[in-house]
Chain A
Amino acid sequence: MSALARRATRPSAYALALAVAATVVVPVVYVVLGGFRTTGQVAAQPVALPDPWVFANYEEVLRSGSFWRQVGTSLLIALLATAATVALGAGAAFGLSRYAFRGREALFTYFTLGLLFPVGVGILPLYLLLRQLGLLDNPVGVALPEAAFGLPITIVVLRPFMRAIPGELEDAAAMDGCSRIGFFWRILLPLSAPALVTVSILAFVTSWNAYLLPLLVLNDPGGWTLPLGVANWSTQYTQDTSKILAFTALSMLPALLFFVLAERRIVGGLTGAVKG
């Protein structure tokens, strides 16, 4: 397969690359362009450029309060979840990396257990638990469990990073009268910034895209996140394909925009998180 790199096979390599790109791009473009058609046009000529271009679908979505409300709710929950994941995870990783105490490794293993099974497994009891705590139909009821789900990977990424920061730095800080907490806050956290960005992006994207937990916790349509809105919109307008296309295209936008802006961070973070 590495023969593809050879000069003689260049044209076929480009053809293959083009085919791969098309497989990814065509569905996305189909959705975006489809939003500019009427449903009749979508059925009649799904491939060509819209003729004429129709703006009513996008207008309707952008004018509907529900789209913006869902964007707002998704943003709120994702920010809450990210803040909680990073705050709790950084604290735990600090304690587990820069304090010597009995049972430290056992405690670390306890946190990593969450990587060995799908977190969705406990969703039925979790739902009942949230109901008992009065957290149903509450953004916190989504954000807090999401933070908990994200803790194992966050701690696993942050701990070696914090561990690698030289002990001399800590000794020097202590000599200058800096407490452990001051060291954590003023020296260790700023030095850990790259790893913190990685885990933040992971937490944010996971929360932004989440479906099952919000589906169960948020019953009131007024408090829905964007994925719930997309899913509902697509069942509500089964006969009106172009409306689904417009709504879906607009809800893709934030994720794709975020991806284009932070691609190197996301890719670097993911490969770093997995490869070590």
Chain B
Amino acid sequence: MPGRKHAELALFVGPALVVYSMFVLLPIGLAFWYAMYRWNGIGPLTDFVGLDNYRRALQDPAFLGSIRHNAIIIVLSLTLQLPLALGLAVLLNARLRGRALLRTVVFAPFVLSEVITGVIWLLILQPDGLADRTLQAVGLGGLVQLWLADREIVLYTMFVVITWKYIGFAIILFLAGLQGIPRELAEAAEVDGASKPRVFRHITVPLLGPTIRVWAFLSIIGSLQLFDLIWIMTLGGPANASSTMATYMVDRGFRRYQFGYGSAVAVILFLISFGVSLAYQRLVLRRDTAGALTRMAG
């Protein structure tokens, strides 16, 4: 009964296919189209400008700065969050009293919304707020900065907040990975005279490899789409010092009604993300299994 089979298939897969195509992929396609026009989002598309919007974006220092900010966040995540999360995961894997509670606590910020996280830190970091008071109380008053208003500092302040919010996820992932490593391995190495750091370096880290590589992928994609926290806390400011590609796009599109130009920015963001993802899948995740993507989430 092939006819019936096809009808059933259409019934099961059809609705998802329609909704997904319409709300995820169609908008990307439309962005490619809108990007060729100068358009305020209202009325017909008539002012065809070809690739002009792309040229403008790639010549705008503010946009290039946004790309650089995304890149900085990625690099900082991989070089600072990764060792920190690994260390904390090892710590939480040790037999400590209150370990379960500690795990819950460390993971809690991950379920708080970006908006709530942003508002909390906005209050804590305001001049003479909790952060400044704490520093003064412990005799480090000289370190006090305009955390969110200093152009040189704001991006790094945001990185600290991002780390506070998301590191619990990395820790939980690494913990799950650590628990998959048989204790006998480390014990055998120690019997053979390997020091603890060497065991960590040569047994723990390599065996955590697949988990680390998947985390790094999610972290890169997350950093590329960074929006909510920044928008809540700084709107990308001051003077674009903390802007990301996504905040730049929303700013041009929705606050200045440059839908054509904003779409060109969207296309660039899409191409960068997609390119990075494909390259990562092919070059890094392929080592783990053939179907890296399905393995990643399945």
Contact = CB atoms under 8 A, between A and B. Distances in A.
Contacts of B48: none
Contacts of B172: 267, 270-271
B121 A122 contact: no
Interface of B, secondary structure class, is helix
A106 interface: no
Contacts of B9: 95, 99, 101
B124 A27 contact: yes
Interface of B: 5, 8-9, 11-13, 15-17, 19-20, 22-28, 30-31, 34, 41, 86-88, 90-98, 102-109, 111-116, 118-124, 128-130, 133-134, 137, 164, 168-169, 172-173, 176-177, 186, 196-197, 199-200, 204, 211, 214-215, 218, 221, 224-225, 227-228, 231-232, 246, 249-250, 253-254, 259, 262-263, 266, 269-270, 273-274, 277-278, 281, 293-298
B15 A88 contact: yes
Nearest to A126: B27
A128 to B, nearest CB: 6
A89 interface: yes
A2 B106 CA distance: 19
Interface stretch (A59-67, A143-151, A169-177): A143-151
Given A47-B133, A274-B214, A275-B211, A121 B266 contact: yes
Contact of B297 (A122, A230, A274): A274
A94 B204 CA distance: 38
A1 B86 contact: yes
A129 B115 contact: no
Contacts of A259: 107-108, 111
Interface residues of A, number: 103
Nearest to B186: A2
A67 B269 CA distance: 36
Nearest to A273: B297
A125 B30 CA distance: 6
Contacts of B249: 123-124
Contacts of B86: 1
B116 A276 contact: no
B108 A122 contact: no
Contacts of B177: 275
B151 to A, nearest CB: 22
A122 B27 CA distance: 5
A2 B8 contact: no
A274 B218 contact: yes
B263 A119 contact: no
A118 B26 contact: no
Contacts of A208: 113
Secondary structure class of chain A's binding surface, majority of residues: helix
A66 to B, nearest CB: 15
A224 B94 CA distance: 45
Contacts of A128: 30, 41, 259
Contacts of A126: 23, 27
Given A92-B13, A107-B13, A258 B41 contact: no
A124 B266 contact: yes
B229 to A, nearest CB: 9
A152 B16 CA distance: 10
Nearest to B129: A46
| Ranked 7 nearest A-B pairs via Cβ | A122-B27, A118-B225, A209-B113, A148-B23, A125-B30, A92-B16, A95-B12
A122 B122 CA distance: 28
A231 B196 contact: no
B119 A212 contact: no
Interface string A230-259: 110010000001001100100110011011
Contact of B28 (A28, A122, A248): A122
Contact of B96 (A17, A118, A231, A258): A17
Contacts of A244: 119, 123
Nearest to A23: B164
A209 B97 CA distance: 33
Contact of A156 (B94, B133, B269, B297): B297
A27 B105 CA distance: 12
Contacts of A193: none
Contacts of A212: 227-228, 231, 250
A248 B22 contact: no
